[in-house]
């Protein structure tokens, strides 16, 4: 069976969900167009030469040592193409790597990289494990999320619209790859290491993604969802999630106490 998400836009990366994804898409399209022109030119010259100078019974091909002007011309042409692509890439690169300021109301500041110019962003820790994603919300997730009692969710990430979201990505077992095509490029989740990326999503919307690194037998089922809601809805969701987790923890504590008293633990 085919995996539709892996095709993105078939010939080009997906875009429209985040500024960095848009810049990746436009850079890819520019390079694709330049490569297409070069391909058509080279293949056209090759086909023309095969037809024009094909072998004939009554003629003997002239033995020519070389054409200095032609060789210098295509060398300079190739160099110019590389220079153009290099310049375009370096012009686009900062807007792909560096996150912009948040448009939505202020959420929090943190010291981890990457940092928007005004330092205001939402930090979410992304943890890959066989075979599901875990998301912990808040800058303290990078140090000690358990003592801070931060809210978390599995598989589906909740984020506020028009907010610069910085992801701190790692893994607890094998290498995974967090990839939501509409929000940017693939980012590896490596055990023992932290990889950063960012996005600034439009909403309301639900963006679909997939683990892009073969990580085991259930790899195909390791999907990723990003649910973009309004900042007000996001704050409400955080409060509900904190309450739900607190209630569940309380129930577990009561159950553990009961099992201990009855000698079943």
Q: Does domain 16-55+66-97 have CATH number 3.90.1310.10?
A: no
Phi/psi at 182 (5° precision): -70, -15
Tokens of 239: 């409060």
Q: What is the model's pLDDT at position 125?
A: 93
* Domain chopping of the chain, boundaries: 16-55+66-97, 122-261
Residue recorded with tokens 């193409």: 81
Q: What is the model's pLDDT at position 1?
A: 43
Q: What is the model's pLDDT at position 6?
A: 47
Among the listed residues 167, 225, 237, 154, the one whose alpha carbon sits nearest the alpha carbon of residue 195: 167
Tokens of 67: 């054409």
Among the listed residues 164, 183, 178, 135, the one whose alpha carbon sits nearest the alpha carbon of residue 15: 183
In the chain, which stretches have pLDDT less than 70?
Answer: 1-9, 58-64, 104-113, 258, 265
Rg of the chain over all Cα atoms, to the nearest angstrom: 27
* Domain covering 122-261, topology: Immunoglobulin-like (2.60.40)
Q: Note the pTM of the prediction, 2 decimals.
A: 0.73
Q: What is the model's pLDDT at position 43?
A: 94
Q: DSSP labels for 192-233?
A: T--EEEEEE--SSEEEEEEE-S--STTGGG-EEEEEEE-HHH
Residue recorded with tokens 């490029």: 185
Q: DSSP labels for 121-189?
A: -EEEEEEEETTEEEEEESGGGGT-TTTTT--EEESEEEEETT-EEEEEEEESSS-EEEE-GGG---EEE
């Amino acid at each position: 069976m085919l995996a539709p998400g892996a095709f993105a836009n078939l010939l080009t990366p997906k875009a429209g969900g985040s500024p960095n994804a848009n810049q990746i898409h436009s850079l890819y399209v520019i390079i694709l167009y330049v490569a297409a022109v070069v391909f058509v030119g080279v293949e056209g010259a090759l086909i023309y030469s095969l037809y024009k100078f094909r072998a004939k019974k009554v003629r003997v091909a002239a033995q020519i040592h070389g054409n200095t002007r032609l060789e210098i011309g295509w060398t300079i042409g190739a160099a110019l193409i590389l220079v153009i692509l290099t310049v375009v890439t370096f012009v686009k690169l900062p807007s792909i790597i560096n996150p912009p300021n948040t448009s939505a109301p202020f959420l929090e500041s943190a010291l981890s990289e990457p940092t928007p110019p005004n330092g205001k962003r939402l930090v979410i820790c992304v943890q890959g494990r066989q075979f599901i994603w875990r998301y912990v919300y808040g800058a303290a997730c990078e140090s000690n999320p358990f003592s801070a009692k931060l809210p978390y969710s599995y598989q589906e990430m909740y984020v506020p619209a028009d907010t610069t979201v910085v992801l701190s990505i790692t893994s607890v077992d094998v290498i995974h790859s967090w990839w939501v095509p509409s929000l940017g490029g693939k980012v590896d989740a490596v055990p023992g290491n932290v990889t950063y990326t960012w996005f600034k999503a439009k909403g309301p919307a639900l963006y679909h993604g997939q683990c892009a690194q073969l990580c085991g037998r259930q790899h195909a089922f390791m999907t990723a969802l990003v649910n973009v809601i309004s900042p007000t809805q996001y704050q409400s969701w955080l409060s509900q999630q904190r309450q739900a987790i607190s209630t569940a923890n309380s129930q577990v504590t009561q159950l553990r106490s009961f099992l201990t008293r009855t000698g079943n633990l």
